[in-house]
Structure 1
Amino acid sequence: MSNREPQGSATINIHTNESSPLLPKPQSLQPDHKRREIIGLGYMTLSALGFSTMSLCVKLSGTSFPSFEIVFARSIIQTILSILGCAILKINPFGQPGVRKWLLFRGFVGTLGLCLFFYSITQLPLADATVVFFLGPAFTAILASIALGEPFSLFDGICALSCMIGVVLVSKPQFIFGGETPTDDTTEWKRLFAVFCALLGAMMSAVAYVTVRKIGRGAHFMVHVVYFGLVSIVISPIGMFLFQNPVMPQDSGEYGMLLLVGLTAFIGQCFLNQGLQMAPAGPGTLMRMNDVVFAFLFGIFILHEYPDIYSISGASIIVLMTSAMGIHKIYSHQKTNR
């Protein structure tokens, strides 16, 4: 809203420091490494399509089901499929002992981020919720500099600050922009709360991404999906009964929509976790831009949600600044390795 057991392929940084994966990895030849990165970027693009389709299904399901129930349905389907995948690939679904605590942590923060994102989708236009959640890469860059020792320059800081300006344009708070219906204060605060949830969800996704990078190839991507699903199955019912009222599906159409949420999420999750372990952070960020593109297309042509000039401007700023950060990281990495 990333696991793999087979060890292989090299990492960019071969020094032993905070950014090194928990389990050692052998070095590979440069041509193989380059090919691996290109495949990883393709996986990231496919993950964007999978997650955007999932978001569309969540938006359509949100008219019938509360957000935590949608998360719960997704988690059940995701867990079943991932365990079957592990069985087919002959992979231990619980991973290696040295990384299990990190896998649990990744599943926990990923689940929180997912619950927050799903709620924002049900309350906001699809494109707006996706754009705010897309701040995840900016938060990832900041967190990676703190937790993994990756560089974070003044340029990156300016881009991150500009992204926050983009969020303000997308959220359009009435105390800044005014409003045509000043009496509807409840609706305004509810909308701003949904924006805040999307923002917090983006922060949680950043923590999850950095954890995946930390684990590296210490766990098969399917194992990440298993942990994510299992943790979600535990957490989402708690939120569903504490904060919302569960609703039973009434017909095959509603069951089918929940099934699609789980299937598209599973596909997106597999491609994302695989891509995160194969693609460099900078180019991978650029590929995730497709989330926003797909969200706007789905919103306009399927949901008939037409963004105003503020949303378009804010989305453009966020996409451009996030892209600039990614390109800057690519350039900096190439310069360092010359």
Structure 2
Amino acid sequence: MVPGSEDRVGQGAEVRGWGCSCSFPGLGLVCALVSTVFFSLSSLFVKLVSDLHPLEITFFRCAAQLVCALPPIIYKKLPLVPKDTPSRLFLLGRGMFGAVALCMQFYAFHHIPLGDATTVIFSSPIFIAFFAWLILKESYGWFNFVVTLTTLTGVVLISKPSFIFGSVAAVPNPSEHLLGTLSAFGGAVFSALALVMIRKLGKTVHFFVHITYLSVFGMILTLGLLIALGEFKMLPCGSDRYYLIALGLCGVGGQTFLTKAFQLEKAAPVAIVRTMDIVFAFTWQFLFLGELPALLSVGGAVFVMSSAIAIAVKKWLMERQKQ
């Protein structure tokens, strides 16, 4: 859910704004890969926090993002409220949809394997295409329909419903696994809605303003739910607080590098690199959590990754034809 310009600075162009000037043709893709590492580690830290409710983890993540976003907003004197009413509504929608998506994703990370949750969340491109057709009046043809079916097939393989696979794909807690998968799926839907809001706003709203709205809405939503559920508690001592700090830093780092990637490279190649998040998730799941991915989950990941790459390649080919 990261805003960013899709304009390309140019291969080999001089890059400024990071305290140095350099010329490096693949810098945009390197930034995309670094952002993927940050985001996948962020998901891992969510999984490692054991004594807090997923909503409380979301609250602290949003608080950390807000702390990082406010200083540059104050320094640059960025306007927090757009002048026109449509932009205000889209910005509010971006904040609300993004907050709901974050809550659902963190719930999924806590209740199903890391690789499964990440893969289902990466089904968001099919919903982006659908909502772009519905809201932005962009085209939605047979290609998008086939990709949607392919992605949904991958999600079914990961969710492993017993009425389809029976005892072949038995999981320790079927109801929890299904609920976690549905939560990840909902996170993908709301993430797509947030991204469509960002696309509608274009370059009229600064990146840090987007982060501020997401953080504020996320904190209000999670705090309200935590109080209603009676789940809010003081941050415990021990490793969890360090995981939360790392989670916040990785979230900000991932958003920063991904935004820079979109500024330096076209969206399609960045989207292809971003699918490496799934590979990293399965890797962290094995290395740090000691969980071997199920064969059905790997098959589902292949379907979802193939769909995401197909959408990115198609967009890249269309951009080349326009040149």
TM-score above 0.5, yes or no: yes
Distance 1:277 1:59 in 2: 31
Quote how far apart the aligned CAs of 1:39 are. 5.5
Distance in 2 (CA, whole Å) between partners of 1:165 and 1:93 is 44
SS at match of 1:299: helix
* Alignment correspondent of 1:80: 67
1-structure distance, mates of 2:261, 2:197 = 14
Match of 1:240 in 2: 226
Asked if 1:205 is matched to 2:194, the reply is no
Letter in 1 for 2:193: V
| More displaced 10-residue stretch of structure 1: 44-53 or 240-249 | 240-249
2:82 corresponding residue in structure 1:
96
Question: Counterparts in 2 of 1:216-295, with a 5 A limit?
Answer: 216-243=202-229, 245-275=231-261, 279-295=265-281
- Inter-partner Cα distance in structure 1 for 2:264 and 2:197: 15
2:55 is matched with which residue?
68
SS at match of 2:220: helix
Structure 1 residue 171 displacement after superposition = 1.1
Q: C-alpha distance in 2, partners of 1:64/1:141?
A: 38
Question: Could you state the TM-score of these two structures normalised by the residue count of structure 2?
Answer: 0.87
Deviation at 1:265, TM superposition (A): 1.2
Matched, 1:331 2:317: yes
Q: Which residues in structure 2 correspond to 1:1-338 (within 5 Å)? A: 2=2, 32=9, 41-61=29-49, 63-88=50-75, 90-92=76-78, 94-98=80-84, 99-179=87-167, 187-243=173-229, 245-275=231-261, 279-335=265-321, 337-338=322-323
1:84 shift after superposition: 1.5
Query: Take 1:199 and 1:137, find their aligned partners in 2: how far apart are those partners?
Result: 12
Report the alpha carbon displacement of residue 153 of structure 1 after superposing the two structures with TM: 2.7
Task: Describe the shift of the 1:32–1:124 C-alpha distance in structure 2 as closer, same or farther (beyond 3 A).
Answer: closer
1:157 to partner: Cα distance: 1.5
Q: Is the 8 A contact 1:120 1:198 kept in 2?
A: yes
Partner Cα distance (2:37, 2:171) in 1 = 39
1:145-188: per-residue Cα shift (whole Å, max 9, x none)? 3322333331222111111001111111111111279897xx31
Find the residue that maps to 1:217 and give its secondary structure. coil
- For residues 265 and 199 of structure 2, the distance between their equivalents in structure 1, rounded to whole angstroms, comes to 10
For residues 261-308 of structure 1, the C-alpha deviation after alignment (integer angstroms, 9 at most, x for no partner) is 112112223334454566544333212202111101111111111111
Structure 1, unaligned stretches of length 5 or more? Answer: 13-30
- Between the aligned partners of 2:139 and 2:289, the Cα distance in structure 1 is 40
Deviates further, 233-242 or 37-46: 37-46
Structure 2 unmatched runs, 5+: 16-24
Q: How many residues align?
A: 310
Partners of 2:9 and 2:231 in 1: how far apart? 52
RMSD: 2.7
SS at match of 2:293: coil
**Residues 236-268 of structure 1, C-alpha deviations (whole Å, 9 max, x = no match):** 111222246223232142221111111211222
Deviation of the 1:95 alpha carbon: 5.0
